[in-house]
Amino acid sequence: MNTSPRATGVPHAILIQPTLMITGRSAAAVYSQPAAELARLARSGVIVKIAHGYYAALPTDKRRGDWVPSLETLSAGLAVAVFGPGRGAIWGLSAARVHGALPRATATGYVLGPTQHGDIELSIRSALVEFSKRDPARLDLEYLATELGPSLVTSIHQTILDLSTRPFVDGETPRADAVRALMERADLDRLASLAANVRGRSALARALRLARHAA
C-alpha cells in the first residue's frame, strides 16, 4: 500500500517509498542520467534540493518555490533516504522538538541508524544533520508522520534517557529544559523499565535529579 504524501509531476518510481525523498540512486531506477534529470525536475519546481545528492518531491498542496520544511521533517526524511524505511530515526534534541519539549528551533538535526554515516549539510536551509551509529532495534521508537512521509522518532522515554546520558552542566539549557519538560509527561514505571532494558540507569538517575530540582 502506498502511504506517501501525494506529489505531482514526479515519477513515483524515483521516490523512496513510502516517502517523497529522492536520491541519485533511487532516480537511477528510471533515468539513465539521474543527476541531469533531477536538476531538470528541480528547475521545473516539482522537486526541491535538500542537500548534495538528496531531493524531495513537493507535496501537491505546497506552492512552488517557497516551501521550506522544518529541520525535524528534513532530518526524518534523510533518516529514510540514508538508511531505508524503518531503519533510521530522529533522536536527541530533534526528538524533543517533535515531542513539543523544545520550543526554540535548533541549527542541528539528529539522526541515528545502524551504520556510520557522515554528517549532511543542508542546502535548503542553514543547518546540519548529524548522524550517529545506533541500532534502532534496541531502542524505543515511535511512528512519525511528516510532510515528506512516515519515519521514526525515539519515544518520550527513550529521548529522556538519550538526553541524560551525560551530566548536565551550566549553560546546557536546551538539553536540560527538554528533559524537564519530557519528565512532566513521562510514565515513571515505564521509564524505569526502559532504563533497565537499555542499560540506562545512570541516565535515569540524572533525569530524576533534574526533575526534582525543577519541582
The domain that contains 198 carries what CATH number? 3.30.460
Residue 24 has φ and ψ, to the nearest 5°, of -60, -40
pLDDT, residue 213, reads 79
Between the alpha carbon of residue 186 and those of residues 75, 99, 143, 192, the distances in Å are 24, 12, 18, 10
DSSP H helical ranges for the chain = 24-27, 34-44, 71-83, 92-98, 156-163, 173-183, 188-197, 201-214
> Where do we find the cell 510532510?
147
Q: Is residue 129 part of a domain?
A: yes
Q: Is residue 44 part of a domain?
A: no
> Where do we find the cell 529541520?
71
**pLDDT 10s per residue in the chain (215 long)?**
344 566 667 899 999 999 999 999 999 999 999 999 999 999 988 999 999 999 999 987 776 567 889 999 999 999 999 999 999 999 999 999 999 999 888 899 999 999 999 999 999 999 999 999 999 999 999 999 999 999 999 999 999 999 999 999 876 689 999 999 999 999 999 999 999 999 999 999 999 999 987 65
pLDDT, residue 63, reads 61
Q: Is residue 100 part of a domain?
A: yes
Q: Is residue 133 part of a domain?
A: yes
Q: Is residue 168 part of a domain?
A: yes
Structurally, how many domains does the chain consist of? 1
Q: Is residue 12 part of a domain?
A: no
Q: Residue 178: CB partners within 8 Å, gap ≥ 6?
A: 93, 96, 101, 102, 159, 163
Q: Is residue 142 part of a domain?
A: yes
pLDDT, residue 84, reads 96
**Which residue range forms the structural domain that includes residue 138?**
71-214
Q: Is residue 63 part of a domain?
A: no
